[in-house]
Structure 1
Amino acid sequence: MQKPGTAPAQGPDAPQPSDPSADPQGDAPIVPEAEFDAALPPIVDDVNAPLEPLRVPPPAATTAQPATPVTQAAQAPLTEGALPPAGATDPVLAQPLEPLNSFDTVPLQTVADVPEGEDAPEIAYVTEVRGLDPLNLTDEFNSLSALKEGGGKAANATQVNARAKEDEQLAVRLMKSLGYYDGTAISTIETGAGATGDEAPPGTNRRLRAIVSATPGTRYTLGSVAVKAGPTVPPDLVRRELPLKVGDPIEAARVQGAEANVALKLPQQGYPFVKVGDRDVLLDEATHKGDYTLPVDTGPRSSFGALRTEGDPIFDLDHLNVFPRFERGQLYDNRLQDDLREALVATGLFGSIGVEPVRTGVPGPDGTEVVDLMVRQTKGPQRSLAGSGGFNTGEGLKVEGSYTHRNLFPPEGALILTAVAGTQQRGASATFRRANAGRRDRTVSLTAALNYQSYDAFNAYTGTIAGRIAYDSTPIWQKTFTYAFGFELTGTAEEAYDFDRGERRRQTYGIFALPAQAVFDRSDDLLNPTKGYRLKLNLSPETSVSGGVRPYARTMVEATGYFPVSDSLVIAGRARAGAIFGIDRNELAPSRRYYGGGGGSVRGYGFQRLGPLEPASVLEPDEDGNVDLGDLRPVGGRSINEFSLEARYRFGDFGIVPFIDGGNAYESTFPKGSDLRFGAGIGGRIYTNFGPLRVDVATPLNPRPGDGKVALYISIGQAF
C-alpha cells in the first residue's frame, strides 16, 4: 500500500525496483508528511463556514524533469487569500447570456420524426456500374437496380449503402446467368470531390456517388451433357430435342430455353405427359467446366382416343366430334389438341373452355397408349348487340345495328336481326345461321331482307330471300382458302333512266342468281394486313325477268398485295376488274350494273359517280349553251376496272396513309384502259383491338364538270 503523497512511476518506461540507480529519490515522499498535514485547513464545527485557501509550499528542487510540460500558472505557488492571475478571456464568453425564451428548442428532425404526408429530408446520389458493359449486362442491371429504382434520392447515406449492397448481389446473379460463376462485385460510396460533377435534383445537394464494380472472372462451359430418360421412339428423341452441346457456355437463358424445347417438342411427337425434372450442374473450379445432367420423365407414348366432356352441356359429344382435325389412333400431337380448343373458342359460346389429355391405360397402335381428350365446358353469353356506322361522300351517313342470339337453335343455330338507317339507305333483315353445320368451319345461312336505296344512279325498293353455304375466315380463325355459294331470289322496283323512252321511269325486275366466290388468302391479318397477298374471284350466273327472260353472268376478279418496307411502313396495292356477259346494259336492272367511285373504289369521286352518265339531252342548257354534268345521273355499265396504291405509315396506335386511286366503269362488256379517272388524298388511322378506324380525304385529279372538289370517307377497316 502506497503512503500518502507518493506517486509511483508507471508505464513501460518506468524504472524497475530492482535497479536502484534508475530513481535517485527512491521511495522518498514527494511532499513530506509534516508539510502535507500543515497545509490542511483547520477543522471547525461550523459546516457553513467558507473553505480556507489551500497553502501549497513550493516543490523541492529536483533534477527530475516533468514528463509533460506544465503551464506557468500551474507552477506558480498559491498564496493565502489570493488566486493566480487570470488568463486572456474569450470575448464570446464575456458577452451576457441570451434570454431563455429566445432559444430554438425544436429538436433535429430525423426520418422517423417526419409526420405522415410530409417529405422526408433527402440526400442525392448518382449511380455508376463498372465491369458489366463487356458482358452486355448494363441495361439489364439498370432495369433491376435498387439504386436506379431509388431515382437518385435517399433518406440518408445508410439507405444508399443498403441499396448498393443489394446491387452487389444483383450484379453477381447477372454474371452467373451468363456462366461467370466466379464473378464478384463490390460497392463503394464516394463523397466530396469524388461525387461532384452532376446536377442535383431540385431541393437536394449532389454529394454521394454509389459505384458498383463487377469482376466476372472466367466463364464456365459445358464439359458434358447427359439425359436420364426412359426409352423413346426414336431412341435419341430427348437428346435430339435438347439443343445443348459440350463447349457451350452455361448461360441460364440458353439452358432454360433448351429444357423448354424438350417440354414443347415431345408433346408434338406422341408424349403428352412429359415432365422435365430439375437439372444438376456439377462445376469444376479447376477446369471451369460443368457436367450437366437432366432427368426427364417422358410418360407413355400415346395416340388419340375419344372425346369426353363435363361441365355445362353447351355441345353434346356428337357436335363436339365435328371439330377435331385428327382421327382415332393417330399419334398424339398437342398442336392438334390446341387447334380443337381454338375452334371451340371461335364459336363465342363459352365463358371458358379447356381441353386436356386423359390416360386410359388401353393399348393403342404401334405400342402407344390411347389417351382421351377431356373437354370442360363453361357457358358464356349467348346474346350480343353490335353496331357500326360510317360516312361517305355521295353515299351519305349510314348506321347499322344488330341483335344476335348465337345458340337459339342448338347446336350453334343463331338468329341475327339487323337494321340499317341512313340518308340514302334504310332496311331490315333476319338471318338464320348454322355454324359448323355437319362439318367444321362450314356455315349455312338463310336470309330475308327488305331495303330501300336512293342513290344518284337508281332508286329501288327491294325484297330478297337468299341462302348461302360458306367456308369463311373470321378475325379469330383466318383461313388460306375460303369459298361460298348459294342462291338469291330478288324482287325490285327501280327508278332509272330508260334509254328507249329517253326519260327516267320505274321498272320492276325479278332476278334469280346463283352467286359463288373463292378466295385465296396469304395475308397475315384479316382487317389490317401488313404482308402477303389475296386473290378473289366472284361468279354469279343470273336470270332477269322484266318483259322477258334474259340470262347473263356477272364476274369480278380482284388481287391485293401488301409489302412491308419497314416495321412502320407498308405499301399496299389493289387491282380489280369486272365484266357482265350475255345481256345489254339497258336490259340489266340498274342495281346489278357496275359503278365506280366511292370509299371502296376510286376515292375523290362521289359514290357510284364514275361511269356512263345520262344523255345531256335530259337537261336544259344554260344561257351560254353549257350543260352541267353534275346534274346528270350515272347509269352504270357492264364492265369496270380499278386500282389503288397506298403507303401505310404507322406510329403507335395512329397512322397516316397517302394514296392514289384510278379507274372507271364502261358500257362495253370488257373494261378499257382509256378514260381513266384518278383521285388522290391522305388518310388517318386509329388502330384498335377490333381493327383500324379509317378517315380518308380525297380529291379528283382529272375531274369532269360537276364532280366535287373534296370527298370524305369514314369507316372501320382498311380500304382493302
Structure 2
Amino acid sequence: MTGRHYWLAVALLATTPAAAQLDQQQGRAPARGPDAPKTDPAVQQGDAPIVPDSEFNASLPPISGDINAPLEPISAQPNAPATVNTAPVQPDGTLPPAAAESPELAQPLVPLSSFDTTPLQTAADVKDKDAPEIRYETALKGLESLNLASQFNSLSALKQGKGKAVNATQVAARAREDEALAVRLMKSLGYYDATAVSVIETQPGADAKTPGKLIATVTGTPGRLYHLSSIKVDAQPVVPPDLVTHNLPLRVGDPIEAARIQGAEANVSLVLPQQGYPFVKVGERDILLDDVSGQATGAYTLPVDTGPRARFGQLVTTGDPVFGVEHLNVFPRFKSGDIYDSRKTDDLRDALVATGLFRSVAVEPQRTGRVDADGTEAVDLLVRQTEGPPRSLAGSAGYSTGQGFKAEGSWTHRNLFPPEGALIGTVVAGTQEQGLSGTFRRSNAGQRDKTFTAIASAVHQSYDAFDAFTGTLSARWSRVSTPIWQKRFTYYYGGELVGTNESVYDFARGDTVRRTYGIVALPGQVEWDTSDSLLNPTRGYRLRLNVSPETSVNGGISPYVRTMVEGTFYYPVSAKLVIAGRAKAGSIQGIERDDLAPSRRYYGGGGGSVRGYGYQRLGPLDPQGNPVGGRSLNEFALEARYRFGNFGIVPFLDAGNSYESSLPSASDLRFGAGIGGRFYTNFGPMRIDVATPLNPRPGDGKVALYISIGQAF
C-alpha cells in the first residue's frame, strides 16, 4: 500500500499543472465573485475524473507477495512515470533539468532480518580507564536515633560506591537515591511525614597540588510517629471465635511499623493452617492515615478469607508410583477425621523425603466438598511423587591410636524389594580390621520408623586383646530416632548366631592359643532421650540399658547374661558453653572370664571410652602385657564444650577401667585428660581429640589421637 500511495501522488502532480503554480502562490485565497476567472464547465460540474481509472491502474507497479523483500529502485519499476521535478518553474514556464540521481538512493533497502541494530558508539560511551576519579565521603544525620544507620549503610548507593565516582554529577545522583532510601526506612517505622535532603560540599585539599574531597551529607527528618487508632479484621466466623484476632499480635496504640505489621499478618497465615484452616488467604491491608488532627494515627483494616474449617480425609497420589496408597498410609502421624494441622502435613512430606527414593515429592491439601455434621470439610492430601535414583554409594574414614586407620564403603539399593526393601553391601578396610557384609533392611515395616534388619558378615579383627575371624548371622527389629523425628523412647531386639575363631591367652598353659566359639545371643536395648539433638546435644539427658542373654558353646554349653547401663547429661551454661557428662557400667553374670570368647568381654580405653589409653588396653593384662578383658566395666567422662562460630574447643577428663570380677569397683581407676577441636557442619561436628594418660602403666603411650564424626558422647 505504500507503493500505491507514492504513485498516486506522482499521478496527481503529473496531471495537474496548476499544482506547481499554486506552490508559488502560497497564502492567496482563490478569487470569488463576478470577477473570478471562468472555469471549464466540465470541471465545474465535478463529474470528470482527474485521472481515468485505466490510466491510474496502468501506472501502478506490481506488488510482490514477500513483505520482507527489499524495495526496488524507482528506475527499475515497470511502467514507472517520469520523475517529478519539484524545483521552481522557470520564467518561460519550463522545468529545470532533473538533478543527477544518487547511486546510493537507487540501491535496494536492506531487509529487516539482516539489519544491524548495534547502537553506534559515541564519544560519551568510551570508557577511559585512565579517566580522573574523584573521591567522596558519606555522612548521615537524623537516622542514628531511630537505629536505622546500619540498614541505611547496607543499602546506600553512596556506600556501595565505596567513596569513588567519575564526577560530581554521579555523586549527586547517588545522593538522590539515598534521599528516597532514607524516607522509605523512616516510613517503615511509622514516620509517614518523613523527609530527607542531601547536600554535596567540597572539602578543600591540603595544598594546591592535593585535590579536595566531596562530602555527601544525607539528612533525614522523621516528623511525627503514626500509631494505630483502630484494628479491624474482615473475616468469616472461625472456631474459636478469636482465632484470627488472637494470632494477629497488634494493639491499638502500637506504632505503624512495617516489619511488625507484616510479621503479625504472616503469623495469621502460619497459625490458621495449624488450627484447621488450610486454605486461609490474607488479603491486602488498608491503613487510612489521619494527618489532619492533632494526633498522627492510622485506621488499620485487614481482609482475611479463612476458607472452610477442615479435617484430614484420605491420601491420594499422582505421578510415579514409588509408593502405593497402602504404604503411604504408614507415614502420617494423624488419623482420618482429625482437625487439619499443616505441621503434620509437613511432617508427612519430610518423612517421605527421608526415604531417599524421591527426586521430588509434594503433599498438598485438596478440597473435596464432603461436609461433616459439625460443618467441617474433609480435605484429602494429594501426594505428588517423582521417582529419584534408588542407588547410592557412601564412605567414611577415621583414625585412632590403638585402632589405626579404618575406611568403610557401602553400596545401597534402597528399593530393590518394594516397598523400601533395601540391599546394602559393605566393605571395611583398615590396618587392624577388614570385613565384608550384606544387609537386607525393610524400612517403615508396617509402622513408621520401625525397621527390620538381617545381616550376614565376615570380619577379621587384629588387636592387642585378640585376633579373631568372625562370621555372624543376625536379625533385628528396631524403632529408632531419625533426624526429622527424634523420639523420647526407642528400642531394638533380635537374635544373633556367631561363629568365631580367636586367639586367647590360656593362663593354665601360660601361652596364647586359638579357640573356636559358637554363640547364640538375644540382644535388646531400650533408651529414653530428652536431649535436643542426636549428633550435637546441648541440653537434656539420655538413659540407655542393654541386656543380652547369651549361650557360648566351646566344648560345653555356658549360658550367661551381658548387661550395660549408661547415662549422659548436657547442661548449657551459656549460649557458647555446654557442660557434658557421661557415666557407664557393665556386668557379665553366669560365666567365668576365661570361658568367654575374648570378643565378648569388656574392655576400656579408646576414643569412645577413656581417652589417652590405647583401644581396649584398660583392664587385666597377660604376662606379655596384652589386655585380656574382664567381666565388668565402669567409665566416667566430663567435657566443657565451648563453641565460637563453626569452631569449638573441648577440654575433657575421662576415667574408668575394666575388671576380672563380675561387678565393677571404684578402685584402680585410670584417668586421661586432653583437649579437642570441633568443626561444626550441617550434618554434625567433626572431632579431633588429643589426650594423654594421667596415671599410665608400663607400656601405655604418652599421647593418643582420635579423629571421627560426632561428639564423643
Mapped contact 1:329–1:365 kept (Cα < 8 A): no
- 1:358 aligned partner: 366
- 2:561 aligned partner: 553
Q: Give 3-state SS (helix, strand or coil) of 1:389's partner.
A: strand
- 1:266 aligned partner: 272
Q: Which of 542, 551, 562 is the aligned partner of 2:570?
A: 562
For 2:587 and 2:456, locate their aligned partners in 1 and report how far apart those are by CA, in whole Å.
28
Select between 488-497 and 562-571 the one with higher mean Cα deviation: 562-571
Task: Give 1:315's aligned amino acid.
Answer: F
Mapped contact 2:201–2:214 kept (Cα < 8 A): yes
Mapped contact 2:579–2:639 kept (Cα < 8 A): yes
Q: CA deviation at 1:497?
A: 1.0
| Mapping for residues 67-466 of structure 1, pairs under 5 Å | 115-116=126-127, 118=129, 120-193=131-204, 205-285=211-291, 286=293, 287-466=295-474
Unmatched segments (≥5 aa) in structure 2 = 1-121
For 1:535 and 1:127, locate their aligned partners in 2 and report how far apart those are by CA, in whole Å.
60
Q: Which of 659, 672, 677 is the aligned partner of 1:684?
A: 677
1:292-327: CA deviation from partner (whole Å, max 9, x where unpaired): 000010111111101010111100101001111111
Mapped contact 1:124–1:205 kept (Cα < 8 A): no
1:452-497: CA deviation from partner (whole Å, max 9, x where unpaired): 1111111111111000111112334432221111111111111111
Q: Give 3-state SS (helix, strand or coil) of 1:169's partner.
A: helix
1:529-559: CA deviation from partner (whole Å, max 9, x where unpaired): 2332222211111111112222111111111
Q: CA deviation at 1:204?
A: 8.7
Q: CA deviation at 1:159?
A: 0.9
Mapped contact 1:303–1:365 kept (Cα < 8 A): no
Structure 1 pair 583–574 and aligned structure 2 pair: CA distance change class (3 A): same
Matched, 1:653 2:646: yes
Mapped contact 2:400–2:705 kept (Cα < 8 A): yes
TM-score, normalised by the number of residues in structure 1: 0.79
- 1:70 aligned partner: none
Q: Give 3-state SS (helix, strand or coil) of 2:687's partner.
A: strand
- 2:37 aligned partner: none
Alpha carbon RMSD of aligned pairs, Å?
Answer: 1.9
1:318-338: CA deviation from partner (whole Å, max 9, x where unpaired): 100111111111111111111
Structure 1 pair 186–112 and aligned structure 2 pair: CA distance change class (3 A): farther
Mapped contact 1:606–1:708 kept (Cα < 8 A): yes
Task: Give 1:331's aligned amino acid.
Answer: I
Q: Which of 538, 542, 551 is the aligned partner of 1:543?
A: 551
1:496-528: CA deviation from partner (whole Å, max 9, x where unpaired): 112333322111111111111112222222222
Select between 645-654 and 129-138 the one with higher mean Cα deviation: 645-654
For 2:548 and 2:688, locate their aligned partners in 1 and report how far apart those are by CA, in whole Å.
32
Q: CA deviation at 1:406?
A: 0.4
The percent of aligned pairs where both chains have the same amino acid is 69
1:140-161: CA deviation from partner (whole Å, max 9, x where unpaired): 1111111111111111111111
Structure 1 pair 348–456 and aligned structure 2 pair: CA distance change class (3 A): same
For 1:566 and 1:359, locate their aligned partners in 2 and report how far apart those are by CA, in whole Å.
48
Mapped contact 1:437–1:443 kept (Cα < 8 A): yes
For 2:692 and 2:336, locate their aligned partners in 1 and report how far apart those are by CA, in whole Å.
61
For 2:246 and 2:682, locate their aligned partners in 1 and report how far apart those are by CA, in whole Å.
40
For 2:263 and 2:408, locate their aligned partners in 1 and report how far apart those are by CA, in whole Å.
50
Mapped contact 2:437–2:457 kept (Cα < 8 A): yes
1:412-443: CA deviation from partner (whole Å, max 9, x where unpaired): 00000011111111111100000000111100
1:135-189: CA deviation from partner (whole Å, max 9, x where unpaired): 1111111111111111111111111111111111111111111111111111111
Unmatched segments (≥5 aa) in structure 1 = 1-110, 617-630
Q: Give 3-state SS (helix, strand or coil) of 2:555's partner.
A: coil
1:35-76: CA deviation from partner (whole Å, max 9, x where unpaired): xxxxxxxxxxxxxxxxxxxxxxxxxxxxxxxxxxxxxxxxxx
For 2:558 and 2:130, locate their aligned partners in 1 and report how far apart those are by CA, in whole Å.
88
Q: Give 3-state SS (helix, strand or coil) of 2:374's partner.
A: helix
For 2:126 and 2:599, locate their aligned partners in 1 and report how far apart those are by CA, in whole Å.
79
Mapped contact 2:395–2:410 kept (Cα < 8 A): yes
Structure of greater Rg: 1
Q: Give 3-state SS (helix, strand or coil) of 1:223's partner.
A: strand
Mapped contact 2:202–2:212 kept (Cα < 8 A): no
Mapped contact 1:190–1:210 kept (Cα < 8 A): yes
For 1:491 and 1:563, locate their aligned partners in 2 and report how far apart those are by CA, in whole Å.
43
For 2:131 and 2:277, locate their aligned partners in 1 and report how far apart those are by CA, in whole Å.
60
Mapped contact 1:302–1:364 kept (Cα < 8 A): no
1:109-157: CA deviation from partner (whole Å, max 9, x where unpaired): xx96685572542111111111111111111111111111111111111
For 1:120 and 1:601, locate their aligned partners in 2 and report how far apart those are by CA, in whole Å.
69
- 2:667 aligned partner: 674
For 1:695 and 1:243, locate their aligned partners in 2 and report how far apart those are by CA, in whole Å.
47
| Mapping for residues 609-628 of structure 1, pairs under 5 Å | 609-614=617-622, 616=623
Structure 1 pair 537–117 and aligned structure 2 pair: CA distance change class (3 A): farther
Task: Give 1:645's aligned amino acid.
Answer: L
Select between 662-671 and 427-436 the one with higher mean Cα deviation: 662-671
Mapped contact 1:123–1:204 kept (Cα < 8 A): no
For 2:181 and 2:499, locate their aligned partners in 1 and report how far apart those are by CA, in whole Å.
77
Q: Give 3-state SS (helix, strand or coil) of 1:340's partner.
A: helix
For 2:450 and 2:223, locate their aligned partners in 1 and report how far apart those are by CA, in whole Å.
63
Mapped contact 1:329–1:364 kept (Cα < 8 A): no
Mapped contact 2:203–2:212 kept (Cα < 8 A): no
- 2:612 aligned partner: 604
Aligned residue pair count:
589
TM-score, normalised by the number of residues in structure 2: 0.80
For 2:643 and 2:405, locate their aligned partners in 1 and report how far apart those are by CA, in whole Å.
27
For 1:154 and 1:274, locate their aligned partners in 2 and report how far apart those are by CA, in whole Å.
50
Mapped contact 2:203–2:215 kept (Cα < 8 A): no
For 1:667 and 1:192, locate their aligned partners in 2 and report how far apart those are by CA, in whole Å.
87
- 1:47 aligned partner: none
Task: Give 1:140's aligned amino acid.
Answer: Q
Q: Which of 549, 568, 574 is the aligned partner of 2:582?
A: 574
1:231-265: CA deviation from partner (whole Å, max 9, x where unpaired): 21122221222111111111001111111111111
For 1:485 and 1:208, locate their aligned partners in 2 and report how far apart those are by CA, in whole Å.
78
- 1:633 aligned partner: 626
Structure 1 pair 320–120 and aligned structure 2 pair: CA distance change class (3 A): farther
For 1:130 and 1:223, locate their aligned partners in 2 and report how far apart those are by CA, in whole Å.
30
